A and B are shown apart, each in its own frame.
Chain A
Amino acid sequence: MKVQLTRLAHARSGDKGDTANVGLIALRDDFYPVLAREVTSARVKEHFRGICKGQVERFELPNLGALNFLLHQSLGGGGTLSLMTDAQGKTFSTALLRMQIDIDEEEANRLGLTTH
């Protein structure tokens, strides 16, 4: 079944120059392995196509149940050079939470995701 990341995680994003960072944090400890398995750099790069023009790097923080993504060349030059409304990448967090991932029925049941 398809599950949107809003049901599994919360997030915060920020900027460093032309790079946006998105920290994706599991809402429950047992959601973290699912995020770590499904939300790969390649998936994130594909999700942000047309927005992220550079590479996506991923770092794991199992101690916080979190993944950190660096989305290079994403902020129209970054800082004061950028013409974007969101030159600081503040809303990249919620943009990532739009992602849908596939979870098989058994795991979804075990994680209590089949009931709303």
Chain B
Amino acid sequence: MKETVRIAAGQGFWGDLPSAPVRQVHDGPIDYLMLDYLAEVTMSIMQKQKARDAKAGYARDFVALMKEILPACVARDIKVVANAGGVNVRGCAVAVAEVAYELGLMGKLKIGIVTGDDILDRLDDFLSRGLELRNMDTGEPLHTVRDRIQSANAYLGAAPIVEALGKGAQVVITGRATDTGLTLGPLIHEFGWATDDWDKLAAGTIAGHIIECGAQCSGGNCQYDWQSIPDLANVGFPIAEASADGTFVITKHENTGGRVNVPSIKEQLVYEMGDPREYITPDCVADFTTIQLAEAGPDRVRVSGIKGGPATDSLKVSISYSAGYKAVGTLVYSWPDAYQKAQAADTILRARLQRMGLRFDQVLTEYVGANATHGPLAGEPPADVAEVQLRVGVRGNDRAAIEQFTKEIAPLILTGPPGVTGFAGGRPKVEEVVAYWPALIPKNQITANVKFLNV
């Protein structure tokens, strides 16, 4: 058994810094590269891609990345764990296998394929058996949006990843797996933690939580003393250096920018936090009020003391459904009286929309430069404010009404207050709104499958 295992985070979301995972592999020693690609609405985008092309529906960036780093990963036995498979995990694995073949890695690569999360085809069966899949936020039962559902996936935990690694997979590709499971899985595999060793499972989960947002724990988006954080252009992504006893150190490669210190870790720990005593995952319930942090050298923070409790008997389900349309239009008003002009333009726009008889579920006006982020807390902008951006958004089920709204923005330039610009982008685009429906499902309804592809 290794004394410590180094798990490097390579992507905090689909679209994160492309060079980050490459540098994690090349700039220093690591044992695992962990990549999180799936935000809540990503699955619906991938489901649409798959509907157009049966071979699509996964994070293509991951395949391009593999082309770049697979030879080094194979040579140095760095294992890769990624939820890049989206709604076509097998397709993603085949694409990676093709890349490996092109790179001449025949006989050297075993790819683990984790499925079982996709429950889109099983929803009617669940509903007919009385599983209501109520929205965790609103309490509404799922049948109210049944005909508009685009994707449905249960969040799998660490167990299938552990199985894949245990059977020799070098690369493990999952669909909807928890971000934290991508880190916990390798630790269970390496250290043989028992499935009811709740404190250690909680520790691995919290290690995963800290590094799952990439550089957001190593100096990015860090308020604490932000002006003194060195060389963010060269920011180092985080590495969890874990021990078998469930303690770990968060660090980053030498000669990279950013900063890992107690305040940077605290900021990430509280990110998207609910009840800190009950951080619920498929694997355990972690208690954030037990975490102890200590500086352990430059860019090193030791994390210890973590306690956890038994996992619940449910899995979270992420469902996406079509929820109408929206569009956002903007114009920029300049000094003098920039704020007043933007407000006058909004009044004119709303009067015209009303005269046209257009109805929306929601209309929102914001003044960027005055109050778009802090609302009434920002107070009135200074009288001589140099410029204000008027930003008006509408949402509703009537696509035609949203289309008409998009035609009413540019005319304000010649028919409204003066000193206006910023319309070069043309008419605002009408976007389909794909909303997110969180629910719970009994664990016994979901079975993860682990298969392999040998190159």
Say whether A and B bind each other. Answer: yes
Chain A residues with CB under 8 Å of chain B are 10-19, 21, 23, 25, 27, 47-51, 59-66, 68, 70, 76-81, 83-86, 91, 93-95, 98
Asked if B376 and A17 sit within 8 Å, CB to CB, the answer is no
* CB atoms of B364 and A23 under 8 A apart: no
- Verify A80–B274 contact, CB threshold 8 A: no
Within 8 A of A (CB), among B255-275: 263, 266-275
CB < 8 Å: which of B223, B266, B376 contacts A64?
B266
Evaluate contact between A17 and B436: CB separation under 8 angstroms. yes
CB atoms of A94 and B266 under 8 A apart: no
Q: Judging by beta carbons under 8 Å apart, are A10 and B434 in contact?
A: no
Complex: A65 Cα to B137 Cα, angstroms? 29
> A81 near B273 (CB under 8 angstroms)?
no
A81 lies within 8 A of B270 (CB): no
Given A86-B372, A95-B377, CB of A18 within 8 Å of CB of B137:
yes
Residue of A nearest to B270 (CB): A23
Is B270 touching A47 in the complex (CB atoms < 8 A)? no
Q: Determine the main DSSP class of A at the interface with B.
A: mixed
A98 lies within 8 A of B374 (CB) = yes
Complex alpha-carbon distance, A98 and B373, angstroms: 13
Task: Assess whether A63 is in contact with B270, with CB atoms less than 8 Å apart.
Answer: no
Give the chain A neighbours of B376 by CB distance below 8 A: 49-51
B389-419 to A contact mask, C-beta < 8 Å, 1/0: 0010111000000000000000000000000
| Chain B positions within 8 Å of A14 at CB level | 271-273
Contact check: which of A23, A77, A84, A86 meets B267 at CB < 8 Å? A23
Give every chain A residue within 8 A of B41 (Cβ-Cβ). Answer: 79-80
Are A47 and B377 closer than 8 Å at their CB atoms?
Answer: yes
- Establish whether residues B275 and A91, one from each chain, have CB atoms under 8 Å apart when the complex forms: no
Query: CB distance B373 to A59 under 8 Å?
Result: no
- Flag if A51 contacts B377 (CB, 8 Å): yes
B363 nearest CB neighbor, chain A only: A83
B292 and A51: CB pair below 8 A? no
Alpha-carbon gap, A61 to B279, bound state (A): 13
In the bound complex, what is the Cα–Cα distance between A62 and B373 (angstroms)? 29
Number of interface residues of B (CB under 8 A): 49
Binary flags per residue of B366-396, CB closer than 8 Å to A gives 1, else 0 = 1010001111110000000000000101110
Q: Does A83 contact B328, Cβ atoms closer than 8 Å?
A: yes
> B273 contacts which chain A residues (CB < 8 A)?
14, 21, 23, 59, 68
Contact A12 B276 (CB under 8 A): no
CB contacts under 8 Å to A, within B326-366, are 326, 328, 362-364, 366
Bound form: Cα–Cα A83–B323 in Å: 13
- Chain B positions within 8 Å of A, measured between CB atoms, are 40-41, 137, 221, 223-224, 263, 266-277, 288-293, 305, 323, 326, 328, 362-364, 366, 368, 372-377, 391, 393-395, 433-436, 438
A17 to B84, CA, bound (A): 23
CB–CB B433/A80 < 8 A: yes
In angstroms, how far is the closest chain A Cβ from the Cβ of B368?
Answer: 7
- How far, in Å, is B229 (CB) from chain A's closest CB? 13
Partner of A63, one of B291, B433, B438: B291
B291 with A17: CB separation less than 8 A: no
B-side contacts of A65, CB under 8 Å: 266
Which residue of A has the minimal Cβ distance to B320?
A80
Instruction: Identify which of B267, B274, B391 contacts A12 (C-beta below 8 A).
Output: B267
CB nearest neighbor in B for A65? B266
Pick the residue among B221, B271, B373 that contacts A95 (CB under 8 A).
B373
Q: Known contacts A10-B224, A21-B272, A91-B373; is A80 also within 8 Å of B434 by CB?
A: yes
Q: Are A59 and B275 touching (Cβ within 8 A)?
A: yes
Query: Please, which residues of chain A bring their CB within 8 A of the CB of B223?
Result: 10-12, 93-94
Which has the most chain A C-beta neighbours within 10 Å: B292, B305, B395? Answer: B395
For A81, give its contact among B374, B435, B438 (CB under 8 Å).
Answer: B435
Q: What's the nearest-Cβ distance from chain B to residue A14, in Å?
A: 4
If the complex has contacts A68-B276, A83-B326, are A63 and B290 also in contact, measured as CB distance less than 8 A? yes
CB distance from A78 to the nearest CB of B (A): 8
Partner of A61 from B289, B373, B434 at Cβ < 8 Å: B289
Determine the distance from Cα of A15 to Cα of B263 in the docked complex, in whole angstroms. Answer: 21
CB atoms of B272 and A15 under 8 A apart: yes
Given contacts A17-B436, A63-B290, A83-B328, contact A25 B270 (CB under 8 A): yes
Q: List the A side residues contacting B263 at CB < 8 Å.
A: 10, 25
Closest to A25 in B: B266
A-B contact pairs, 21 of them (CB 8 A): A21-B270, A21-B274, A23-B266, A23-B269, A25-B266, A48-B377, A50-B376, A51-B375, A61-B270, A61-B276, A61-B288, A63-B290, A63-B305, A64-B266, A64-B293, A66-B270, A77-B362, A81-B395, A85-B373, A94-B373, A98-B374
A85 and B270 in contact (CB under 8 A), knowing A59-B276, A68-B276, A80-B436? no
